[in-house]
Structure 1
Amino acid sequence: MTVSRRLARPRDNRWIAGVCSGLARRFGVSPGIMRLIFVISCLLPGPQFIAYLVLWAVLPNE
């Protein structure tokens, strides 16, 4: 099985938009871990939710 290293939103294993799944696939971690990192990061101050929306709009579908 080949692992895609291109940053894109996968059509499978999505929850909302596939951004966390795409990032997880790109960096070689589990999608569940990436989602957990995102949720924990949302508890900290910063533009995490805005970055998620931007990635949703910018990243292409597979």
Structure 2
Amino acid sequence: MQSQLRRTRDGRWMGGVCAGIAKQYGWDVNLVRLVFVLVSLLGTLGIGVLVYLVMWAMIPLEDSSATPRW
């Protein structure tokens, strides 16, 4: 059974979305943040910020039994 994606409490800067993605897939968190910033600013005219906010609201916190807020 594969673990569910969760926002992390450790190593997060804002909401823990990028850190949670990096932890889930075993990637470097700074690389995930860099890719997110580049895509948000250069590729999609800022739509990445909206995607981040939606992910922040929907992905539950680590060690939390609460369901996603949606």
TM-score by length of 2: 0.75
Question: Match for 1:38 among 36, 50, 63?
Answer: 36
**Stretches of 4+ aligned residues off by more than 4 angstroms:** none
Identical amino acids, percent of aligned pairs: 41
1: CA distance between counterparts of 2:44 and 2:32?
Answer: 18
Instruction: Please identify the structure whose Cα radius of gyration is greater.
Output: 2
Unaligned ranges ≥5, structure 2 = 63-70
Unaligned ranges ≥5, structure 1 = none
- Please report how far the alpha carbon of residue 21 of structure 1 lies from its aligned counterpart in structure 2 after TM superposition: 0.3
Q: How many residues align?
A: 59
Q: How does 1:2-21 map to 2 (within 5 A)?
A: 5-21=3-19
TM-score by length of 1: 0.84
